[in-house]
Structure formats: C-alpha cells, structure tokens
C-alpha cells in the first residue's frame, strides 16, 4: 500500500475573494479519483477569506499593552491575539501561548506575519486564521464535488510548535470528508490481543505529512494532493482533535 | 514534487537476533535509490534487540508499588517504567507520563504490551524501547549501505499521545542519515521577509507520515519505504528533537 503526496505547481498568489476550489482544480493536471485529498495551507484560505488586518487600525486594550510589555511584542498584535483567543495559557518573551477561539492550543493565536500580501511591502498587515476552518474545508470540498463529481477530502493545516519537542509540525485546523481520529479501541492486534487505548490522530498525521511536502518558506506550494490515504473517507471535525481541558494533564 | 510512502509487504514476524537490514532488503522488491528512507516501527527493532522482559522476573520497589496503587497499574510494569525513566512528569489512573531515559516525554515509558511475542500467549511479556535507537538506526543504515552501496536514511518511530490534542501520532525516536530539524531562521520567504523563528521538525513530520501508512493494530506492516523526502539527507540525532527542559513551558 502506498500513499503519494504531491505539491501542486502553479498555485498563483491568492487574494481576497479568490475561489480556491477553482484554483486547486486548475492546478490539478491529472484525473481526480474518489478518496483523493487536498491539503491546503491555512495562509491561502485566510487570504481568500480576507482575514488580513492592518495593525494601524488596531487599538490595544490595557490588558494587551501589559502583556505586550511582558513579552516584548507589538501591543496591537497582542490585542489581536487576545481577541482571537479564549485564554492565555503561558507567555514569555516573544511567545504567547493561547487557547485559540477555535479550541486548540497554539502560539500567538496562529496570527501570521510573513508572506501576507505579496503585492506591497506593508509589514503592518497580519493574517488571522480562518473563522471556521471546518466550514472553509467543506465549502471547497462541496465545490470540487459539484464540478468533478468526485468525492474528495479537504484539509486545512497550520504549523504548530509543540510541548517537549523541537521543531514545528503541520497540524490539522479544519477538515471535511476526512476522519479526524480512528478509534481502534477494542480492535484485535496481530495476535488477538485486544487493544486498550489506541485512538490514532490520523488527520494530524496527514497534516504533518503534507506540511513536509509543502515546505515552509520560499517554496510557494501551499496545496498538496494526497492519493492513497489508508482509511475510508468519512466526516471528521476539528473538535474531535481537541482534548477537552479537563482531560488534559498539561493545561 | 512528490513523496511516496509504501508499506513493505512480506516483513515476517521479528525475533531476537534477526538482522533487520537483511529483512528490509529482502522485502524490497524494487531498486533502491540514494536518498530513499526506511522507517521502522520501534516494536520490531526492540524485538530484534531482545528488549522483551517477563514481568514474572520483575520485583517492584516500594516506589513502584505506591505509584501502581495510585494509577491502578501492575506494580511490576510500573517498576520497569521507573527503571526506563529519568523522572515521572505526571500521572493519573492508567497513565504515567515520564521523561524517558532517552530524553523525550512519553506515556508509560514507551513500554509495549501488545504484539510482543506472536509465538505464544504470555501476556506477562512486555517490550522496552531500544536502548539506543539512533545507534540501532545507524547500524541498519550502515548495513544497507554495505550491501547495496546506496545512501539511505533509517528512522525508528513510535506512537505518542500529545498534550492538548486527541489521538496518537507517529514520532521519531531514533534516526540516522536524516536531518532531525531544518532551521529556516534567517531564510527569506516568498516576498523577501526574513523568517523569524521557523525550525521545522521534519523528522517528526516524516514519522507521522510513515505511521499513517503503517497503521497500528492488525496490519503487520512495520516498515515503510519513503521516496522523495524533500530535504537532502544529512546526519540528525534524536537529541535535536528534544526541547531542553529549561526551554519548555509545559514541563
């Protein structure tokens, strides 16, 4: 069994209002199959949805100013981080770790400062995460279905730092038509033992795989096509990937 | 650019003393190329190295008995977990999170209870992690080089739970000939901005990808061949993947 991940060439710079299903299909120079998956970088989804904010228009609250002083960050940026978050989990110089409004833990509320515009040099423009990435993924998936009659999965990924380990890894922040986790509890292993506690984070495993193929910086390949995902496609949601706070030993 | 991950068929049950380079090459029914990578499940490496322990031969310490009572686990198993660890980081019913002797944080010191023997029904036999997985990987890599004259990378992976998110993901516990992380700090992005803080955990991204293709339970495909890893092969080590304790906000 093989899984093939291919970065799509010829994805143009994305601007607000762009139709990503269109752009992805235009860049797909082969026949789609049912159960194929497209993995999209968060950045292009946010851009197409107009999630750019000019810091010049942000007025920091007192709380943001205080946290900005403690972390040596731009208070306007910190204000956006607070607006995008349920709570601040940890902070220190240069890093603010939050529970994002979407439920997951991440640094700096996922707000991105690089590669935002591409059509100017305004370093004050930052990019927020999509408002509802599961829904963004579903829209793209539905549109692809409509145009091709193929049942594909769509995932939106970001790069997150992690507790305990160095290096960012791709993680899933939204998905449609792809299982988020596979619950193998109760399955038998090769020798008939019943597995006790295996829930596999297949969406995050796929996100990491796609992120590796995308690269990070200058490559400009924000869409990866996946063939051979080893589980049947089914409907998953971001919510399934987030450990409830009271079940988390590291909050 | 494509990356192809293929589970090798025809990997037999592994026993103590088996030569894994041999077994991997025998199962490879295509021509190897330089820069190909083999990813091996921890379990078969541990087995080949004889890391099985029969709990009947383990005498739990007082500390192990106390922790076993608190977590409702087998005290002999807990004794092994303590022996395999630098410290206990968190615990609660059924779970003990430790800093393993190898340096990383994981549940139950990575000690595995399923699929261990395959040649009997002794549920008292458990499997410890390889003693030095980087070295295990290097031995297999060197042996493959010797036999094929191909420069391949070798990685050993396990499945770990994570803070904050549901589901286990494959992570790297040992590697040879593969970069552990790629440091993009100072690189320019697509528009000439200098990246501030991107260190990519490429080894863990690859581990997650391979884990997805291996599956977990009954598949019996503990070796994955990778072609098209998007970075040049170079020497990495597990140590590079582990965040120093004083740099970790979640210890």
Tens of pLDDT along A207-225?
999 999 998 654 579 999 9
Contacts of B88 (CB under 8 A, 6+ apart): B67, B82, B96, B97, B98
**Residue finishing a domain among B86, B105, B128:** B128
Reply yes or no on whether the pLDDT at A53 is more than 80: yes
Confidence band, pLDDT 50/70/90 cuts, at residue A246 = confident
Indicate whether B119 and B6 sit together in one domain. Answer: no
Predicted pLDDT at A159: 93
Distance CA B143, CA B126 (A): 28
- What is the spatial distance between Cα A163 and Cα A185, in angstroms, rounded to a whole number? 26
Residue A2 tokens read as: 């093989």
- Within chain B, what is the greatest distance between any pair of CA atoms? 63
> For residues B175-197, b (16+ Cβ closer than 10 Å) or e, as one string?
bbbbbbbbebeeeebeeebebee
For B193, the closest of A105, A115, A215 (CB atoms) is: A115
CB contact under 8 A, B2 and A4: yes
| Residue after which a domain boundary falls, among A128, A151, A185 | A128
Claim to verify: residue A145 and residue A216 sit in the same structural domain: yes
Pairing of β A153-160 and β A37-41: parallel
Confidence of residue A188 (pLDDT cuts 50, 70, 90): low
Domain carrying residue A223: 1-44+135-240
Q: What are phi and psi of A107, to 5 degrees?
A: -80, 140
Q: pLDDT digit string (tens) for B66-111?
A: 999 999 999 999 999 999 999 999 999 888 999 999 999 999 999 9
ipTM field: 0.93
**What's residue B247's pLDDT?**
81
Tell me if A189 and B114 make a contact (CB, 8 A cut-off).
Answer: yes
CATH number at residue A217: 3.30.1330.100
**CA-CA distance, A225 to A10, in Å (whole number)?**
13
In this predicted structure, which of A160-164, A185-189, B2-6 has the lowest mean pLDDT? A185-189
Residue-level pLDDT at B173 = 98
Instruction: Answer yes or no: is A248 within a domain.
Output: no
Low-confidence ranges of chain B (pLDDT < 70): 114-122, 186-197, 216-219
Give the residue from chain B lying closest to A170, CA to CA.
B205
Residues B150 and B40 in one domain: yes
Average pLDDT of chain A, as a whole number? 91
- The predicted model scores a pTM of 0.94
Backbone angles phi, psi at A6, to 5 degrees: -125, 125
Residues of B in contact with A5 (CB under 8 A): 2-5, 209
Q: What is the pLDDT of residue A244?
A: 87
| B139 and B227 both lie in a single domain | yes
Are B1 and A6 within 8 A, CB to CB? yes
Phi, psi of B84 (to 5 degrees): -85, 0
A155 three-class SS: strand
Order across the sheet with B95-100: list the strands.
Answer: B85-92, B95-100, B105-107
pLDDT for the residue B16:
96
**Domain co-membership, A162 together with A215:** yes
Å from B4 to nearest chain A CA? Answer: 4
Mean pLDDT across A155-166: 94
Average pLDDT over residues A134-154: 98
Same domain, A39 and A156: yes
A200 is a domain residue: yes
Nearest to A208 among B181, B189, B205 (CB): B205
Rounded to whole angstroms, how far apart are CA atoms A133 and A144?
Answer: 17
In a domain, B201, yes or no: yes
Whether residue A17 is found in the same domain as residue A40? yes
Nearest chain B residue to A222 by CA distance is B190
Residue B208 counted as domain residue: yes
Q: How confident is the model at residue A186 (pLDDT cuts 50, 70, 90)?
A: low
Check CB contact under 8 Å for A166 and B215: no
Task: Give me the helices (H) in chain A, please.
Answer: 20-26, 42-48, 62-71, 75-83, 133-148, 202-214
């Amino acid at each position: 069994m093989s899984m093939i991940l291919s970065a799509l060439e010829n994805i143009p710079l994305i601007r607000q209002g762009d139709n990503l299903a269109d752009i992805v299909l235009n860049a797909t120079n082969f026949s789609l199959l049912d159960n194929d998956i497209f993995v999209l970088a968060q950045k292009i989804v946010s851009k197409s949805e107009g999630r750019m904010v000019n810091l010049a228009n942000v007025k920091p609250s007192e709380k943001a100013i205080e946290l900005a002083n403690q972390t040596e960050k731009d208070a306007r940026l910190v204000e956006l981080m607070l607006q995008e978050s349920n709570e601040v989990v940890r902070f220190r110089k240069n890093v603010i770790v939050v529970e994002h409004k979407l439920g997951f833990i991440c640094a700096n509320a996922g707000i991105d400062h690089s590669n935002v515009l591409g059509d100017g040099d305004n370093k004050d423009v930052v990019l927020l995460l999509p408002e509802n990435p599961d829904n963004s993924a579903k829209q793209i998936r539905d549109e692809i279905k409509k145009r091709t009659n193929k049942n594909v999965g769509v995932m939106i990924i970001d790069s997150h730092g992690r507790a305990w380990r160095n290096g960012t890894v791709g993680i899933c922040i939204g998905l449609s038509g792809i299982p988020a986790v596979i619950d193998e509890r109760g399955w038998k292993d090769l020798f008939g033992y019943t597995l006790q506690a295996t829930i596999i984070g297949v969406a995050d495993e796929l996100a990491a795989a796609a992120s590796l193929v995308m690269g990070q910086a200058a490559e400009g390949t924000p869409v990866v096509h996946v063939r051979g995902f080893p589980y049947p496609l089914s409907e998953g949601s971001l919510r399934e990937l987030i450990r409830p706070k009271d079940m988390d030993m590291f909050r």
